Amino acid sequence: MRSFSIVIDGQEVAFEPGQTIMEAAEEAGVYIPHLCYHPDFKPHGSCKLCTVKVNGRYATACTLPAAEGMVVENLSDDIQADRRRLTQMLFVEGNHYCPFCEKSGNCQLQAVAYYVKMEESFFAHFYPRRALDASHPDIVLDRDRCIQCELCVKASRDVDGKNVFGLAGRGVQTRLVVNSESGLLKDTDMAKEDFAAHICPTGAILVKRIGYQIPIGERLYDRQDIGAVGNRQPVLKPRE
Amino acid sequence: MIAAAELDRLVAYEDLPSGGSFMVFNATRDIVRIAQNFAHFFARESCGFCTPCRVGTQVLRRTIDKVVSGHGSEMELTEVEEIGRLVKSMSHCGLGQTAANPILDSLKRFRERWEDRLGTRDFVPDFDLDGALSEARALTGRDDALAHLDR
């Protein structure tokens, strides 16, 4: 059988026809920073963190199918600098306070920020006003930390079969909304066991009363960076 | 955006690609305000799907507003160029990929118009500390000298 390969930062990476650059890279253990991509779902391509240069042109690794002869620039200083700016944009657009966020250490946004060597926010903060929803007995929805990746929307709709979340509004006013008459999470059938309750890459959707079960210092990204650990969550729903 | 010296250029895919419309501005118009208007337009038009366009067009709008308000420095012009390039290269669709064009073009061709707008200081912070204190002043009912930043 013929084998196919692309080159990422000088390293040869094999792929099966139909695989995206991201899928081929993940299989080969090559980390491409990302936030809205999740292997269980169709790629979204919105966070743009996985932007790479393919034969000199910008493309998102999560959406572009790998093709023989592609030369991919992933961790060059230029690309990482652009990703640093993108990450800073995500930070200033919302209200992200790592020091008192219970997701700290398990947060992919924070971990990616460290990975791209973000040391300050660079831009002036937008300080948006976003509604907090603590109405559900077991789950809290803190929109301040939402980065609009849509993973909870997909997890709820495609895995849990409940269709609890959606994105509404447009532009910088885009907000995560809850599909119930009152707009509150307590009036949905969402349960803390749902995939949607555990997929958020940031601390926007948290299960209550487990925040400090794993102490700071022993969390997912406390000892190893996200390049080594990958984008997984500490509490994963078993997959059938 | 082109300058008067380039009026012999062609509106064509190979030279100046256009959706079929063009605007002509005479010498009485303010280039920086034209760029600011485009920045506001695209900050409003961005659908919000991708990060570089959703946030980048806001950053461009805010930074240009800062320059127009007289609080800009060379640093802001550099930032506009850097973020403009990023929005152009990383955005998902044609809107984001072209949103920064009028701004970048005007900086390239009419940079002195932008420089006329810059204040005398090397840097003015984006965060208005005295403005932030005004809320505390209102809440405490204070208006004495110690409740103001010494400027």
Kindly state whether residues B116 and B131 are assigned to the same domain: no
pLDDT of residue B6: 94
Cβ–Cβ < 8 Å for A79, A51: yes
A171 CB neighbours in chain B (<8 A) are 43-48, 54
CA distances B114 to A117, B6, B65, B95, Å, are: 32, 20, 12, 24
Classify each residue of A55-70 as buried b or exposed e, where b means 16 or more C-beta atoms within 10 Å of its C-beta.
Answer: eeebbbbbbbebeeeb
Q: Best-predicted range by mean pLDDT among A132-141, B117-126, B135-144?
A: A132-141
Search chain B and give the residue with CA nearest A50. B90
Q: How many domains is chain B partitioned into structurally? A: 2
Same domain, B61 and B112: yes
CATH code for position B116: 1.20.1440.230
Claim to verify: residue B138 and residue B103 sit in the same structural domain = no
**DSSP structural state of residue B126:** S
Alpha-carbon span B100 to B36, nearest angstrom: 11
Residues B19 and B84 in one domain: yes
Residues B81, B143 within the same domain: no
Query: Could you say which residues from 82 to 101 on chain B have a Cβ atom under 8 Å away from some Cβ of chain A?
Result: 82-83, 86, 89-92
Per-residue model confidence (pLDDT) at position A70: 97
Q: In this predicted structure, what is the pLDDT of residue A237?
A: 41
Question: How many Å apart are CA A191 and CA A173, to the nearest integer?
Answer: 28
The answer to whether residue B4 scores a pLDDT higher than 50 is yes
Question: Do B32 and B102 sit in the same domain of this protein?
Answer: yes
* pLDDT at B54 > cutoff 90: yes
Claim to verify: residue B36 and residue B107 sit in the same structural domain: yes
Report residue A213's pLDDT band, with 50, 70 and 90 as the boundaries.
confident
Instruction: Give the structural domain span for B147.
Output: 127-151
Q: What is the pLDDT of residue B150?
A: 64
Burial label, A170 (beta-carbon count in 10 A; 0-12, 13-18, 19+): middle
Per-residue pLDDT band at A94 (split at 50, 70, 90) = very high
Bridging pattern class, strands A4-8 and A71-73:
parallel
What mean pLDDT is predicted for residues B98-126? 91
Residues B35, B81, single domain; the answer is: yes
Region B83-105 average pLDDT: 97
Q: Does residue B151 surpass a pLDDT of 70?
A: no
- Assess whether B132 and B96 both reside in one domain: no
Q: What is the mean pLDDT of residues B49-53?
A: 98
High-pLDDT (> 90) share of chain A, %: 90
For residue B149, what pLDDT is reported?
79
* Arithmetic mean of pLDDT over chain B: 92
Domains of chain A, start order: 4-75 (3.10.20.740), 81-220 (3.30.70.20)
B67 and B103 co-located in one domain: yes
Amino acid letter for position B123? F
Q: Is the same domain home to B33 and B73?
A: yes
- Say which of B46, B49, B86 has its CB closest to residue A46: B49
Q: Which residues contact A68 (CB under 8 A, 6 or more apart)?
A: A4, A5, A6
Statement to judge: residues B40 and B16 lie in one domain? yes
pLDDT value of residue A240: 40
pLDDT of amino acid B121: 76
**Contacts with A45 from chain B: Cβ below 8 Å:** 50, 92
pLDDT at A236 over 90: no
B126 and chain A: CB distance < 8 Å anywhere? yes
CA dihedral A32, A33, A35, A40 (to 10 degrees): 20
